Structure 1
Amino acid sequence: MASVSAPNSLQGLPLLDVDILRTFIAIAETGSFTRAAQQVFRTPSAVSMQIKRLEETLGRAMFVREPRQVHLTPEGEILLGYARQLLELNDEAVGQFLSPQVGGTVRLGAPSDMGTRYLPAIIAQFTRAYPAVQVNVRLGRSPDLMRRLDVGELDLALLVSEAGRTPAIGAEPIYSEALVWAGREGGVAWNRTPLPLAVADRGCAWRRIAMEALNRAGMRYRIAYTSEHAEAHVAALAADIAIAPLPRGLVQPPLRVIEHEEGGLPPLAEYALSLKRIPARGAAAEALAQHLIDHFASQAVG
């Protein structure tokens, strides 16, 4: 969708793109192009291009860019109010047509890191479009989510595996992302022997990918910090007591990507995200499944 309608609109004025307004609001609320990119499922470069188009359309700078933060200009503050109103009207209009057709409850399972990085924004967008649908989310490891699917406690689940490996039977690959070695900026944990790792417990795809890579490279390591939650790994890295395999999108200051050439660290494989759903769970479950697929497809393309 183009951000500007041709000047042939009724008043001769351009039309603002709803997707760009969502990105604009995300930047204003997070103070970061990178964090906003994660919320709207695009790359930072795609987000920068969207804001460039917005500023060119309106002929005003919307943000003051600083090394570690961005903040709104006075013109940006004015636009923020209008942008929120426009999005609310858009979502209300769409919901008026969709809500009578789809309703009910959907039980969704997802990995813990998805519960903080992606799901809040995804579920918020979905419930605005389908206000009659209630979404109940359970976070956990993929093996546990698979078990809950099998016994009927979930309707659909996002599952993590190593890219290139056959996903669980009936699961549909919808996204993949690079894993990188991460540590504290200026830290020394990555240079210790044995290498201290922060990982989840057994059954985690990130853990398996990292340990298999280290074993193939013949590098000594120890499990220094174990948690099921990515936020705990980030905290351990920030304290420089370990390094960890993380998706590149999770690596934010004070952390940095440790390039494998630096300390002879082996490169890491990508991890894959698959969607598995229980058949014949109804229109609400199918609507959420398609919503998830569409969002991660836009992230991959962005």
Structure 2
Amino acid sequence: MNPMPAEGRAPLPLLDTDVLRTFVAIAESGSFTRAARQVFRTPSALSMQIKRLEETLGQSLFVREARRVRLTPEGELLLGYGRRLLSLNEEAVTQFLAPSLEGRVSLGTTDDVGARTLPGILAQFARSHPAVEVNVVVGSSREMLARLDAGELDLVVCTAGTQDPSMPVEWVHSEPLVWAGREGGMAAQRSPLPVALAHQGCPWRQAALDALDHAGLSYRIAYTCEHCAGQEAAMLADLAVAPFPLGLVRPPLRRIDGGALPPLGDYQLALARRQGLGDAGEALATRVVEAFGTASG
């Protein structure tokens, strides 16, 4: 319901929560394309939403550059309001609809998920279920799944394909696995090709080695890292290229295009649950699935 206008004045427009959510996603990701994957719409649909929002406010909110977008001063001001409005909206709805939960949930995850998706999941879950304690453990998929099987963890977000085939999982995310390197770097032109890979058993590593061997390309394993941050460091130093989920490739890294390197297929994530998971664990599992979107098989 619009607020009653002062006599002789038109009512002020109300900001749509869905549009604000889109605006915040673009601002935080720096890309219409990445934001589109987060809110499960097309980049063109997001462009239309932002155009209408800019027309409503009479201000330009983004400066569009070749590989990214950045906020105008007016956009930076709106970002603060947008975050607070979305948080307040969720708090109000939760107050009436969310059941009161207590307890403790242990969540295992890989470091790539921890770097980009986990902060939002934890923030939203804490607002909706403040009495639930969440214990987060970061490690390899195989390690986390072993701890789940041992009863040490309640939930695990793992790279698909690392779990025992008999273990029931829920597919929650899929995106291209691509070759990445430093913008303007020379690592991709070197022969043999220097590559930075994760630990033994990581599907990224196996996909890269299989693709290079199948293509008959000369390569050398220049760096082996326990976490994807190590691969990123090698790429930033222009010492190697690496297989990386597309959503993690951000400036000054770039996707290596042009068919110079063989395709790697898709990178998929799955959610595994402990048997007998309680209400608090199920609530967190629901939040994880919502954060990644509709499960894909």
TM-score bin, normalised by smaller chain: 0.7 to 0.9
Residue from 230, 233, 237 that aligns with 1:232: 230
Moved more, 178-187 or 291-300: 291-300
The answer for the alignment partner of 2:151 in structure 1 is 152
* Aligned-partner Cα distance in 1 for 2:258–2:77: 45
SS of 2:15's equivalent in the other structure is: coil
User: 1:41 touches 1:299 (CA, 8 Å); kept in 2?
Assistant: no
Q: Report the AA paired with residue 198 of structure 2.
A: A
SS of the residue 2:130 aligns to: coil
CA offset at residue 198 of structure 1? 0.6
Once the two structures are superposed, the pairs formed by residues 208-223 of structure 1 within 5 Å of their partners are 208-223=206-221
Corresponding letter in the other structure for 1:151: A
Q: Is the partner of 1:154 in helix, strand or coil?
A: coil
Please name the residue that 1:279 is paired with. Answer: 275
Task: Tell me if the contact between 1:23 and 1:36 (Cα under 8 Å) persists in the aligned partners.
Answer: no
How do 1:136-175 and structure 2 match up within 5 A? Answer: 136-161=135-160, 169-175=167-173
The code of the aligned residue for 2:146 comes to R
Aligned to 2:292: 296
Structure 1 match to 2:15: 16
Shift in Å, 1:162: 5.3
Q: Which whole-Å CA distance do the structure 1 matches of 2:289 and 2:238 have between them?
A: 36
Matched residue SS, 1:261: coil
d(CA) in 2 for partners of 1:168, 1:56: 54
Q: Tell me the matched-pair count.
A: 288
Distance in 1, matches of 2:150 and 2:191, equals 44
Partner of 1:200 in structure 2?
198
Alpha-carbon contact 1:197-1:221 (below 8 Å) kept: yes
Equivalent position amino acid for 2:291 in 1: H
* Paired residues of 2:36 and 2:46 also in contact (CA < 8 A): no
How far apart, in 2, do the equivalents of 1:298 and 1:290 lie?
Answer: 11
Change (3 A) 1:166 1:269: farther
* Structure-2 residue corresponding to 1:3: none
Q: Secondary structure at the match of 2:288?
A: helix
Q: 2:113 corresponds to which letter in structure 1?
A: M
What SS does structure 2 have at the residue aligned with 1:240? coil
Structure 2 partner of 1:70 = 70
1:36-185 equivalences in 2 (<5 Å): 37=35, 40=38, 45=43, 47-66=46-65, 70-74=70-74, 76-98=75-97, 100-161=99-160, 169-185=167-183
Instruction: Give the SS at the match of 2:160.
Output: strand
Contact 1:162 1:269 in 2 (8 A): no
Q: Mark the CA change 1:257 to 1:93 in structure 2 (over 3 Å): closer, same or farther.
A: same
Residues 197, 221 of structure 2: 8 Å contact kept: yes
**Aligned mates of 2:294, 2:219 — CA distance in 1:** 37
Please say if 1:267 is aligned against 2:263: yes
Give the gaps of 5 or more residues in structure 2.
Answer: 5-10
Per the TM alignment, residue 117 of structure 1 is displaced from its structure 2 partner at its CA by: 1.2
Question: 1:56 Cα deviation (Å)?
Answer: 3.2
Normalised to the residue count of structure 1, the TM-score between the two structures is 0.83
TM-score normalised by L of structure 2: 0.84
State how far apart, in whole Å, the 2-side matches of 1:9 and 1:198 are.
56
SS in 2 for 1:136: strand
Q: Secondary structure at the match of 1:273?
A: strand
Distance 1:174 1:88, change over 3 A: closer
Cα distance in 2 for residues equivalent to 1:44 and 1:111: 28
For 2:255 and 2:20, the matched residues in 1 are separated by: 31
Residue-by-residue CA offset, 1:233-287 (whole Å, 9 max, x unaligned): 122112111000011111122222112523xx21111121111101222111111
Q: Deviations over 1:100-128 (max 9, x none)?
A: 52221111111111100111112111211
CA distance in 1, matches of 2:251, 2:79: 27
CA pair 266-83 structure 1, distance change in 2 beyond 3 A: closer
Cα deviation for residue 169 of structure 1 reads: 1.6
CA distance in 2, matches of 1:34, 1:244: 24
Give SS of 2:293's match: helix
Pair 142,39 (structure 1): closer, same or farther in 2 beyond 3 Å: same
CA contact (8 A) 1:41 1:298 kept: no
